[in-house]
Each structure stands twice: as structure tokens, then as C-alpha cells.
Amino acid sequence: MDLELQKLRTKLNKIETELSKCRGSVLEDGWQTKRYAKKMRKWDYYAVEKMKILQQIEDYENNIK
């Protein structure tokens, strides 16, 4: 069972890495550009995935107790 938790934490670390890559700024990418919009879409996707994984980890930890 701990293997499942380890897999979720590894996945969470990968998503955190992707989120840090997506952190854009208007000064870097410009306002209303395709590059900025693409970063924000990726940010939204990975933020949702992060919340799902955090919920799974929480559920898993609650089931253990």
C-alpha cells in the first residue's frame, strides 16, 4: 500500500516541476500573446491535476488510519 502512496507523491513532484515551468509573467511573455495563453492553459491543467492527486493522497492516508 505504501507503494501506491509513493507513486502518487512521485507524480505530484512531476506536476510541481511542470507548474514551475509554466509560471509565466506578462513581462516575459507579453500580454495577450499565444505563448502566454499556452502557459496559462498548461498551468490550469496541471493545477487541476495537482488538486486531484492531493485529494487522492489525503483519501489514501485517511483510509490507512
Q: Judge contact between 54 and 15, C-beta under 8 A.
A: no
How high is the pLDDT of residue 1?
A: 62
How high is the pLDDT of residue 65?
A: 67
Produce one character per residue of 25-51: b if its CB has 16 or more CB atoms within 10 Å, e if not.
eeeebeeeeeebeebeeebeebeebbe
Q: Judge contact between 5 and 59, C-beta under 8 A.
A: no
| Tens digit of pLDDT at every position of the chain (65 positions) | 689 999 999 999 999 999 998 887 788 888 889 999 999 999 999 999 999 999 999 999 898 76
